[in-house]
A and B are shown apart, each in its own frame.
Chain A
Amino acid sequence: MDSDLAKNLRSVTISPLEDEEEEEEELHIEEAEEDEEEDEEDSVQLGFVEKPKNPRLLLSHLFPSKAGGLPAWLDPVNLPPDNSRLCGFCGDPLQFLLQIYASIDGKESTFHRTLYVFMCPSMACLLRDQHEQWRHKEGSPSRSVKVFRCQLARSNPYYSSEPPKLDGTDRPLCTGVPLCCWCGTWKGGKLCGSCKKTRYCSEKHQAMHWKSGHKSECHKLIASDSPIVNNGNGVQDLTVFKNGLNNATWPEYEIVIEEESGFEWEKSEGNSSSTGTSAIVTKYNKTDEALQSVMDQFEADADKKSWASFEERISRAPEQVLRYCRDATAKPLWPLCSGRPSKTEIPPCRYCKGPLCYEFQIMPQLLYYFGVKNDSNSLDWGTIAVFTCLASCESSISYKEEFAWVQIYPATSIRPGRLTM
């Protein structure tokens, strides 16, 4: 019934003023409202998650974009240092969320460029992180969401200068540093004190591995000769991570890129039968002021409006998990009105002191794909917008930290003067 009505009303037009016999009567002139539909649409690229056909295709020498699982480090040797890999509040090592391969044309040093996003899986830390992201000016605040950027020139000591052939014969040029045995994410700088073979990135992971099986295997490993190989480039024995993968990482997906403009807006297509039923549409010159007041009562407030336009935009492709648009004028698609950063709240790049620009944002559909539980301490966000250095600066640090802004849904919905359920 709805679609018929929509089809019928599609062709409704307003008769021009000249046709009116009487002179123009008073029309309801609206106050100037913000017209959200006037924004031009940037060319946004969307990311979708898919199960990888072959996990080997997500290794770092094939420059993947992926979510969950283990990170494919671009620079396999100089991994992020100790203090930046921990959550600023609970001290646990951060968990890998996603990485995208986003090189920038024109500059040699950014031929290969990957952005990594890490997050603490605890909601309590994310709530405290909200306070931190608002006050950025005091040095480098402790966050629970961290973004790293790594870039390499075309000729570099780790990968060949030719594009990968994707036929199974590609190999990285060097092996990376060994990684932690439990999470497989961070550098395994510490050895187990007894067997001296298993590597960990932190004491917490050692404790967890000890409890879930290493205790019995430790003495066996002391006797055996072979070292456990788990290096940064992926030539690793994935079975080693069976324990860790269940607890310390999210399920692995590949991120597939599509243009947003490729998605036709489903509702706007279709035939338009031209029987205009204008019975419902009132006459142009006489407005029902009484009904106007109804509409004013029930129309949404600012938060609801931005939520409505957010929903409308993602309804073209409801499975999207990432929106990428590295344009100078691009703005992220915010679900809520409150909690948006202004220009002053975005800090300058901490390495070159230049301005940051918005690059991409992560959508909450990713939580659904990760199968995150829905209890009170499980993660839930509205969107995570990542701002990166506009100049994509070079520095001696291999993994440079960028700025992430998390917008979460408010815990209670305060709707003054509205009907509450």
Chain B
Amino acid sequence: MAERGGFGRGFGGRGDGEGGRGGRGRGGGRGDRRGGRRGNKSEEEKWVPVTKLGRLVKSGNITSLEQIYLHSLPVKEHQIVDALTKDLKDEVMKITPVQKQTRAGQRTRFKAFVVVGDGNGHVGLGVKCAKEVATAIRGAIILAKLSVIPVRRGYWGNKIGLPHTVPCKVTGKCGSVTVRMVPAPRGAGIVAARVPKKVLQFAGIEDVFTSSRGSTKTLGNFVKATFDCLMKTYGFLTPDFWMETRFSNSPYQQYTDLLSKQATKAILPPTEEIPPVEV
């Protein structure tokens, strides 16, 4: 018995066999952690947030993605985006195998390219490389969710119905590729090349004319230029933004002010205190 250390359950090598089983005797609830995870609880209920923003979202203090965009807070957990958007669809655009030469032959991995969007003003793009196709797709979806951006839509002419096109002529540039998006009347559809068309569909833009320049063969720059263009839709100053902005506190600050206000009322005037005596 001198070899085994400690009583009861503790961490360390010997704890694995008996620690787990012995612990189960105290409460069967822990067994559920292993067995009953399959599909019983939804993904969101199982999520334990790891970042401060995640905690704020889980507790319900933040209700929309727009609050996060307003303060440019970095989003690190994809469950945040899941919790704040409805109907986020994803589509795998392409999976290519890539290879690396090793002494023992080639090592093949798969690169997955996924675009996500809710068709209502939010798109994201993700790329992931992994040994298995399923892993790559899953990782790419997560990365795509993390890169979701808002897209502003407007009207071509009469403001009837919902916005359907870009609000104004915007242009985005990446590398040598410039992409120009021009508002189009209803029914025009998305007039663009194959891959940016997909991105624009996911963004929720129904009609747009595009014009591109430069080496659009480099699809990387091409898609990034359209992304840049979409980002600029919210950066363009139109007359409806002429009013003075009222700045609001970031979610991290909101609650501090409240607490400090209460504290100032409750502080009692300092009374003389009896000093402690050393023992």
* Interface set of A (CB-CB < 8 Å, partner B): 1-2, 5-6, 9-10, 12, 14, 27-30, 32, 37, 43, 45, 47-48, 50, 53, 62-63, 65, 100-108, 110-113, 154, 163-164, 166, 188-194, 196, 199-200, 203, 206-207, 210-211, 215, 218, 256-259, 262-264, 266-268, 280-282, 284, 287-288, 290-300, 304, 307-308, 311-312, 314, 317-319, 324, 326, 335, 360, 363-365, 367-369, 372-378, 380, 409, 413, 419-421
In the bound assembly, the distance between CA atoms of A6 and B110 in angstroms comes to 13
Chain A residues near B133 (CB-CB < 8 A): 9-10, 12, 281
Interface assignment of B160: CB less than 8 Å from any CB of chain A: no
- Residue from B52, B72, B141 whose CB has the most chain A CB atoms within 10 Å: B52
Cβ of B220 and Cβ of A295 under 8 Å apart?
Answer: yes
Beyond A164-B8, A281-B97, A376-B256, whether A364 also contacts B26 by CB under 8 A is no
Cβ of A368 and Cβ of B129 under 8 Å apart?
Answer: no
User: Which of A190, A203, A206, A266 is the one whose CB lies under 8 Å from B38?
Assistant: A266
Chain A residues near B19 (CB-CB < 8 A): 45, 257
Cβ of A311 and Cβ of B279 under 8 Å apart?
Answer: no
Cβ of A6 and Cβ of B138 under 8 Å apart?
Answer: yes
6 smallest beta-carbon distances between A and B, as pairs: A103-B6, A293-B220, A103-B5, A190-B276, A375-B256, A101-B10
Cβ of A258 and Cβ of B33 under 8 Å apart?
Answer: yes
Cβ of B126 and Cβ of A374 under 8 Å apart?
Answer: no
In the bound assembly, the distance between CA atoms of A318 and B10 in angstroms comes to 21
Interface assignment of B20: CB less than 8 Å from any CB of chain A: yes
Interface assignment of B143: CB less than 8 Å from any CB of chain A: yes
Cβ of A291 and Cβ of B219 under 8 Å apart?
Answer: yes
In the bound assembly, the distance between CA atoms of A211 and B273 in angstroms comes to 9
Q: Which residue of A lies closest to B256 (CB)?
A: A375
Q: Which residue of A lies closest to B150 (CB)?
A: A421
- The segment from B87-95, B182-190, B236-244 that touches chain A is B87-95
Cβ of B101 and Cβ of A193 under 8 Å apart?
Answer: no
Chain B residues near A369 (CB-CB < 8 A): 48
Q: B79 to nearest A CB, angstroms?
A: 9
Q: B156 to nearest A CB, angstroms?
A: 27
Chain B residues near A102 (CB-CB < 8 A): 6, 10-12
Interface assignment of B74: CB less than 8 Å from any CB of chain A: yes
Proximity bits, B135-149, A CB within 8 Å = 1, else 0 = 001110111000101
Q: Which residue of B lies closest to A201 (CB)?
A: B276
